Amino acid sequence: MHLKRWITGLIALPFLIFLVYKGGVLFTILISMAGLVALWEYYRLVFNGEDKPISNIILLWGYGINFAIIWSTFLVGPNLSVSVIGLNLIVVALISLFQFKTDQTVLDVVIKQLQGIIYIPVLLSFLVLIREGSSGMIWVFVLLAVIFAGDTGAYYVGSYLGRHKLSPAVSPGKTIEGSIGGLAVNLVLGGIAKYLFLSGLPWGLSLLFFLAVGIAGQVGDLFESELKRSSGIKDSGGILPGHGGILDRIDALLFASPVAYIFIEYVF
């Protein structure tokens, strides 16, 4: 497992670095495709054992909305993407009116689709906003490095030193020691990144930023664990050997991205 985890990471890393560096259309393609796969994995989790992910038009419509939200954010900005979110609700509500007579579980489908749209493409769109903003390339690299390193730190500290369960009802394998270790890595790597690339920022706010995105990332990790726990599925997918699915890899990043955007745009 450890070897597969590192091999997958080392193979994917150059492509990720290149696409973040290029930004623009290529980066947005990466984000929208990641959103597509993650949304499919999300449907698999919340509709485990049901035949809805491939047969229900509401869920198929969600795939299109994934692209619409991310690309409208890139091309126009958040104002249009908010309109797309509203349009999605109107359309799925209309579809549900026609399906309700023969399938009264359609409202459950609507609710889970709406949650998935907020959870995945909406949160991913914050990465597009950050990349398109001032010093966007540096901010995205720093955010990815801090979150992925913190995740790795939590994994190894928890594996070797973990004794006290963090949230056993949600994720029996996660420990308080692993959580603290992950946050420590967030702060250390964040401090190095601040010194090297963000020297103009105040230290106090910078450390608060790294701590905030680290905590948000851990909440995101636990939230996905909650989805997997409720569905009885260990991994959201198997596309990344040693890591599971795309959603398994980006769960922390999804929650960290809006927190990072708020700091970048309104705090610093």
In tens, the pLDDT along 193-202 reads 999 999 999 9
pLDDT digits 0-9 by tens, 110-155: 999 999 999 999 999 999 999 999 999 999 999 999 999 999 999 9
Task: Assign 221 a pLDDT band (cuts: 50, 70, 90).
Answer: very high
pLDDT at residue 9 is higher than 90: no
At 209, the pLDDT band (50, 70, 90 cuts) reads very high
pLDDT tens digit sequence for 156-166: 999 999 999 99
At residue 236, the pLDDT reads 67
Q: What is the pLDDT of residue 187?
A: 97
Helices 123-132 and 57-75, axial angle in degrees (round to 10): 20
175-194 per-position pLDDT tens digit:
999 999 999 999 999 999 99
Q: Is the pLDDT of residue 60 over 60?
A: yes
Q: Quickly state the pLDDT bin for 105 (edges 50, 70, 90).
A: confident
Report pLDDT for 3: 59
Neighbours of 192 (CB within 10 A): 13
Tell me what pLDDT residue 261 has: 98
Residue 94 pLDDT grade (very low, low, confident, very high; cuts 50, 70, 90): very high
What does the domain layout of the chain look like in residue ranges?
2-267
Average pLDDT, the chain: 92
Residue 104, Cβ neighbours under 10 Å: how many?
9
Please report, rounded to a whole number, the percentage of residues in the chain having pLDDT higher than 90: 79
Res. 243: pLDDT tops 60: no
Question: Distance of CA 24 to CAs 79, 83, 116, Å?
Answer: 19, 22, 25
What is the reported pTM?
Answer: 0.92
Residue 237: pLDDT over 70: no
